[in-house]
Amino acid sequence: MSEPRGAVLTGEHFMNGDVAAAEGALAVGCTFFAGYPITPATEVAERMSERMPDVEGIFIQMEDEIASMGAILGASWAGRKSMTSTSGPGFSLMMENLGLGVMTETPCVLVNVQRGGPSTGLPTLVGQQDMMQARWGSHGDYEIIALCPNSPQECFDLTIDAFNLSETYRLPVLVMSDEVVGHMTEKVVIPPEDQIARIERRITDAAPADYLPYQPEENLVPLMVAAGQGYRIHVTGLTHDERGYPEVVAPVQQRMVPRLIEKIRKNAEQIIRYESDGIAEAEVVVVCYGITSRVAQLAVEMARQQGRRVGLLRLIVAWPFPERVIRELATRIKGFVVPEINLGQMVYEVERCAAGRARTIHVPHAGGAVHDPETILARIEEASS
C-alpha cells in the first residue's frame, strides 16, 4: 500500500459506476462505510475497503444488511458522513432501519444497485424494480429522496448530491443505480477538490440547556448535534416531541409525522431535478430514468427521423416525483411513453399526474436486459397516432 491518496482523485479516469459512486462519497467527505457483499453492488464496498484508510475513515463489513444500515445510522450520530450499498435482497433487509433513519432524521446515503427480482431473482442482471420499494418500502408514512444515475459519471456526481441532500434535509437519501450503470466502465472526470460542492451538517450553536433537538428551523429541518458534545440528547424511533422524548399520543404524532413529510414536500422544487430534450414542441414525451434513459434517447431520435415531435424527460430525482412538470405537459401533449425495466412502477406516478388528460403508455420489461429501442419506438408511434 502506498501513501494515502486523499479524498478527491482529481483527473480523468475509466471506472465503473459502482467505483464511481464510492469515489463520489469519498469526495464529498464520507468517512464511514458499513456494508455486506451482494452482486451487483459489491464493488462499492470493495472500493470503500481499499480507500477508507486514505481518508482516516472506517470500513466495516457487517454480518448482514440490517446491521449495515444500523451501523451507518450510529456513525452518523457520531458526526460522520456515512454510507452503505446493496442490491434487492439487501435493500429489503434495510427497510426497518431506513425507517428509523427517517424518524430520527439521520443523514446518510444508501446506494442500491438494482438487479432483477423478486427474491434472489437475477443477481447479475439488470432491473429497475425497487423504485416503489424505495418510496414505500418501510412501514408508516414518510417521504424520501431518490436519485437515478444513468452513467458512471453520474454515479460520482449524484452520490455527492445525495450526501448534500441528506445533510440539508436530514434523512437517508437513496441512490437508485442499476446493474448496467453499476458495471459499465466509462470516462469519469473528477474535478479539483475546491470545485466539489460539499454541504456540511448544520449543527446548533445553542447551549445544551437551550437546545431542543427536534425543534425545526424555518425550512422544517432541525439543527443537529453529535453524541459526545455534552448535549445529552435522546433519539428514538418512537413518536417524539421537540425534546426528542417519546410521546406516544395522537397530537404529537399529528405534529411530527406531517413535518417529516412537509420538509420534503415544501422543499420539493429545490430537490427535484430532471433533464429534458425537446419537450416544448413535443406531442409525445418519453419519461425515463437510469439506464433505460439511454435506450430511450435512441428511440426518440429514431422517431424524430420519422418526423414525429417527441420529447424526452429524464428523471434525475425520481422521489420526490416531478408532479408539476408532468401535470403541465399532460394539458398539451397527446401522450406519455414510460419505458422501465419492471412491470409497472414509475408509470403509475405519470398516470396519476396525467390524470386522464394525456394517454400514458407503459413499456414494460421483466428484467435481465435493457429494452430494444424498437420496442420503445413502437409505443411512441402508438402514442402519436
Partner 1 sequence: MNQKAATAAGAGAGGSDTAAPPAPDVREAHAHPKDRLLRSDRLPHIWCPTCGIGTCVSSFVEAIEESGIPEERFAVVSGIGCTGRVAGYVNLDSFHTTHGRAIPFATGLHLANPKLKVVVFSGDGDLVAIGGNHLIHAARRNIDITIICVNNFIYGMTGGQLAPTTPHGARTTTSPYGNSEYPFNVPHLVASCGATYVARWTALHVRRMKQAMVAALSHRGFSFIEVIAPCSTLYARKNRLGTGTDLMKFYHDNCEVRHGANTAEIDIGFQEKIVVGKFVDIEKPTFLDRMGANLAQRRGR
Minimal distance, residue 130 CB to partner 1, in Å: 21
Among 194, 210, 228, 307, which residue interacts with partner 1 (rule: CB under 8 A)? 228
By CB atoms closer than 10 A (0-12, 13-18, 19+), residue 224 is: buried
How many CB atoms sit inside 10 A of residue 302's CB? Answer: 17
Which range of residues in 162-170, 243-251, 259-267, 271-279 is near partner 1 by CB under 8 A?
A: 243-251
Look at the block and give the residue holding cell 430514468: 289
Establish if 48 lies at the interface with partner 1 (CB under 8 A): no
Strand partners, 335: 284, 359
Which range of residues in 35-43, 174-182, 244-252, 277-285 is near partner 1 by CB under 8 A?
A: 244-252
All 3 cell numbers of residue 198? 460539499
Distance in angstroms (rounded) separating the CA atoms of residues 109 and 359: 36
Side chain identity at residue 142, one-letter code: Y
Distance in angstroms (rounded) separating the CA atoms of residues 230 and 209: 10
Distance in angstroms (rounded) separating the CA atoms of residues 223 and 218: 11
All 3 cell numbers of residue 281? 414542441
Establish if 336 lies at the interface with partner 1 (CB under 8 A): no
Cβ nearer to partner 1, comparing 30 with 287: 30
Helix (H/G/I), strand (E/B), else coil: 232: coil
Which range of residues in 69-77, 170-178, 341-349, 364-372 is near partner 1 by CB under 8 A?
A: 69-77
Minimal distance, residue 108 CB to partner 1, in Å: 10
Cβ nearer to partner 1, comparing 40 with 70: 70
Which range of residues in 72-80, 110-118, 347-355, 364-372 is near partner 1 by CB under 8 A?
A: 72-80
Selection from 229, 82, 252, 165 nearest residue 244 by Cα: 252
Element (H, E) at 86: strand 81-86
Residues 1-40 that bind partner 1 (CB under 8 A): 1, 3, 31-32, 34
Among 9, 39, 79, 262, which residue interacts with partner 1 (rule: CB under 8 A)? 79
Among 36, 91, 169, 231, which residue interacts with partner 1 (rule: CB under 8 A)? 231
Strand partners, 173: 109, 145
Establish if 95 lies at the interface with partner 1 (CB under 8 A): no
Cβ nearer to partner 1, comparing 78 with 203: 78
Cβ nearer to partner 1, comparing 124 with 229: 229
Does residue 350 contact residue 360 with C-beta atoms inside 8 Å?
A: yes
Which parts of this chain interact with partner 1 (CB under 8 A)?
1, 3, 31-32, 34, 53, 58, 60, 62-64, 66-80, 82, 96-97, 100, 226-238, 245-246, 248
